[in-house]
Structure 1
Amino acid sequence: MVTLIAGIIMLGILVFVHEFGHFCVAKMAGVKVLKFSLGFGPRLVSKKWGETEYMICAIPLGGYVQMLGEGGGEEGEEAPLSPEELERSFANKPVSRRTAIIAAGPFMNLLLPFLVLPVAYLVGVNLPAYLDRSPCIGHVVAGTDGARAGFEPGDCLVSINGDEVATWSATNNAIISHAGSPLDIEVARGGSLTRLVMTPEDGGVEGLQSLGLLPRQDAVVGGLAPGMPAQEAGLAVGDRIVAIADRPIESWYDLKVNIQELGAEPQAFVVERGGELLELTITPVREEADGADYLIGIAPHQDTVFKRFGLVDAIRAGAERALELIELTLVFIQKLFAGHVSAKNIGGPITVVQIAGQAAQTDLSSVLTILAFLSIQLGILNLLPIPILDGGHLFFNLFELVLRRPLSLRAREIAQQIGLILLLLLMGLAFYNDIVRLFFGGQ
């Protein structure tokens, strides 16, 4: 419930920023704003200040600004306008002003990351330590693109399609930028160089991890699930597991293999704690029906590096990160429409609320980073040239600017209907993916 509420609040912030952009520019352009709504459907809270009614509605999946002469919202057809009102009508404004009003929403979403990310770097960010380390593989997941391409634990990536990669982070960016294309990867292995070629099935849109290539992860306990065998046996956060039933454990990835093979029998776990070796007896359990994994209830320790930036460096780092996120989002959309990235990667409101809610329960820098990431998605999505979205209306205005006449009413109606169908199909796919992830563990 906390995750849900936190997620809805963060989603509300994004919607507010978007609609506030439309609202402010409309006011500056002399357009009368009738309604400013967060959410759709029945009103929960409503207050009229001046000439505008401000509302919070029951369905928190968007919002709208209704302007005089625009229609939409909940009212349907508007009454004939007086000469004074006609002067303040959205439809009666020059195309340049209408374009500015429409573009202001997505623009505000794209501007927000340049404001909040510097704050995140200013207060300090916790970054996974491996991101700045050499891209050396600690584990290759069986059955993945990486395994099929022939990667082995200990391989260190040198270049991708001729571009040198010095860190894990740089490698991820290189893979994402080449998503959907063959990857010619030079690898250092055992003192020599070898080349591996692969074309990821999902495009590689999440970098090395989506290829089944994971960083080295020591078998150190970072978290314990309440009431599970590990906690009840006395395992503690910070313990390093060095052996299970006389089987040596070299990394975190060895744990799952050995726990599954040994099954539900009591096993001797040898752990290192404070420089001493201790032996604990732990019996793995299955919480579900046959076929589920054996569990002991532990999570890995994530080695992080806390970095705090000065004002100038924070502004620079925040702007660079914002531009990087915009670029990666555009690459993803391009690869998606080109068929190089699976549509399974599309997430809907449920995924957005989950991501936002989980971030909201961590630290301020994580909240601001996720807020920036989601704001970019919302801004770019709204700029797609699909009627009903802001990008579709901008396309109509571009047509009017070039031909010096508006698109016919009939043509706009047909385009709106097509856009509505496309949007409903996209939303249906997104909700389907969300439900599969949430209830069936789909990827």
Structure 2
Amino acid sequence: MSELLGSIWWLLVSIGVLVTIHEYGHYWVARRCGVKVLRFSIGFGPALWMRRGQDGTEYAIAAIPLGGYVRMLDEREGDVAASELAFAFNRQSVWKRIAIVLAGPVANLLLCVALFWGMFVIGRPDFVPVVGQAKGLAAAGGLQPGDQILAVGARETPTWSEANMALITAALDRTDVPLRIRSAGGVEGQRQLPLSRLPATFDERNAIAVIGLTPRHRLVPAVIGAVVPGKPAWGVLAEGDRVTAIDGTPIAAWDDITPLVQRLGNAGGTAMVEVQRKGERLALELQPVRARNEAGTPYWQLGIDYARPSEPVEDTVRRYGPLQAVPAALGESVHQTRELFAMIGRAFAGRVSVRNTVAGPITIGRAANSVASHGPAWYLQLLAMLSLSLGILNLLPIPILDGGHLLYYLIELAKGSPVSERVMAAGQYVGLALIASLMGLAFFNDIVNNLVN
């Protein structure tokens, strides 16, 4: 399946699952509260499929799959027969209306917990968070190759995914963060990562690289993939050689080679390049030559290129038994809820770019397609995060969202009478404007992040 078709498929599947559960929450509680449901629709617009249940509810799948709705009997939306007034939504007590409106977001939050539980039971393959290279702030914090990151602040990091997100969060806040590590020799200790020294602005998507940290599984091996004819390495080094040292300095990864070659070139003279070739250890003499890149900037080169590495293979699995997965799923849901609110706060405070916090359907579809290719546990995690986001965002006090209706009902409880239709109508316009702006931003981010870059 192509990336385009895969992205469309997984986008539809994801939205279908989340919207169905959300609307079913409204539907289920409405029925329990004695409200007549006229239609349960997944999607908007003309119905592609519809059937009428024995309860009189129309169940439909509509042409525009970006949402859904539950239409209830309501005097504000049409005439209601006298015999059915007791089943109208607007005739219910304020507490029942609150329960019906709240049920959709609650259903998404419960789904989030269930999906995390499924992820933990299946087991999510991942990487052990071991440091491959430490430069800049990572080196200043005392991290060394081979260190395993056990915790970032209070967040335990059994895998690289947890370590990665915890480090990005601390970087966004520019706060020094303590790390608990286990060295390559097995000794546990503490390190302090000085993230308060990060630049005033940096690319949030590359926060880990800005910190100067490369995880072990992302290291590019120092294996030669090609030798450029006519350059110093031609006839001396060979494809498949693994560079182990340059002028006595050990080489752990390909990125170590370039700065050493520049230093040697500036110093002048020849250097001993040590390689492993077919089980033999060789020491070969080379002298870098001056060249210019496409921008015209001079640099020193040997005339070698790296071998394109294959995708790294996961070396750990985060898995729990069915019972142990229950508290783990609850804990993960609580943690991710706190992180989501914190991210919303950062966006409003201007500490994080909305370009990287508001995603549209293209980004979601591509992400869903990508994680689905890594296995069901990864897809369940993404679906859990989307369900959590949908539930929380729907609780925001914006008119036309569930949170806006809840705000009206709380005002009604406080003042003893419903909010006037004039106020509700004005709120609808404000809510529509806000949602339209948010959708516009999401589509703009999609275009910039996926089609322009």
**What's 1:106 paired with?**
105
- 1:425 is matched with 437
The answer as to 2:397 corresponding to 1:393 is no
- Do the aligned partners of residues 361 and 177 (structure 1) sit closer, same or farther apart at CA in structure 2, a change above 3 Å counting? closer
Q: CA deviation at 1:154?
A: 3.4
Which is higher, the Rg of structure 1 or of structure 2?
2
Unaligned stretches of 5+ residues in structure 1: 72-77, 222-227, 230-238, 259-269, 278-289
Task: Report if the CA contact (8 A) 2:125-2:314 is conserved.
Answer: no
The DSSP-based 3-state class of the residue aligned with 1:407 is: coil
- Summarize the alignment of residues 39-118 of structure 1 with structure 2, pairs less than 5 Å apart: 39-50=43-54, 51-69=56-74, 78-118=77-117
CA contact 1:202–1:341 (8 Å) conserved in 2: no
Conserved in 2, the CA contact under 8 Å of 1:157 and 1:187? no
Number of the residue aligned with 2:10:
6
**Partner AA of 1:14 in structure 2:** L
Task: Name the structure 1 match of 2:446.
Answer: 434
2:372 alignment partner in structure 1: 360
Q: What is the aligned partner in structure 2 of residue 123 from structure 1?
A: 122
Alignment of 1:408 with 2:420, yes or no, is: yes
Tell me how far apart the structure 1 counterparts of residues 37 and 451 of structure 2 sit (CA, whole Å). Answer: 42
Q: Output the amino acid matched with 1:251.
A: A
Segment drifting more, 374-383 vs 355-364: 355-364
State the Cα distance separating 1:164 from its structure 2 match.
Answer: 7.0
Paired residue secondary structure (2:216):
coil
Q: CA deviation at 1:307?
A: 3.9
Cα root mean square deviation, aligned: 4.4
Moved more, 4-13 or 18-27: 4-13
Tell me which residue corresponds to 1:184: 176
Shift of 1:176: 5.7
Structure 1 CA distance, aligned partners of 2:151 and 2:203? 14
* 1:115 Cα offset (Å): 1.4
Change (3 A) 1:400 1:315: same
TM-score by length of 1: 0.74
Give 2:355's aligned residue: 344
Structural mapping, 1:295-374, within 5 Å: 298-345=309-356, 346-374=358-386
Q: How far has the Cα of 1:174 moved from its partner?
A: 5.2
Q: Deviations over 1:239-258 (max 9, x none)?
A: 997249x9986226459999
Q: 1:251 aligns with which of 247, 250, 253?
A: 253
Q: Which runs of 5+ in 2 are unaligned?
A: 181-188, 227-238, 261-274, 282-293, 296-304
Q: How many positions carry a matched residue from both structures?
A: 389
Q: Quote the residue 1:216 is aligned against.
A: 216
Q: For the Cα contact (< 8 Å) 1:217–1:251, is it kept in 2?
A: no
Q: Is the 8 A contact 1:179 1:335 kept in 2?
A: no
- TM-score, normalising length: structure 2: 0.72
1:26 match: 30
Structure 1 pair 57–255 and aligned structure 2 pair: CA distance change class (3 A): farther
1:171, 1:208 within 8 Å by CA — same for their partners in 2?
A: no
Conserved 8 A contact 1:385-1:391: yes
After superposition, the C-alpha distances for 1:100-151 in whole angstroms (9 at most, x for unaligned) are 0000000011111221222221122212211xx5xx462559xxxx69x977
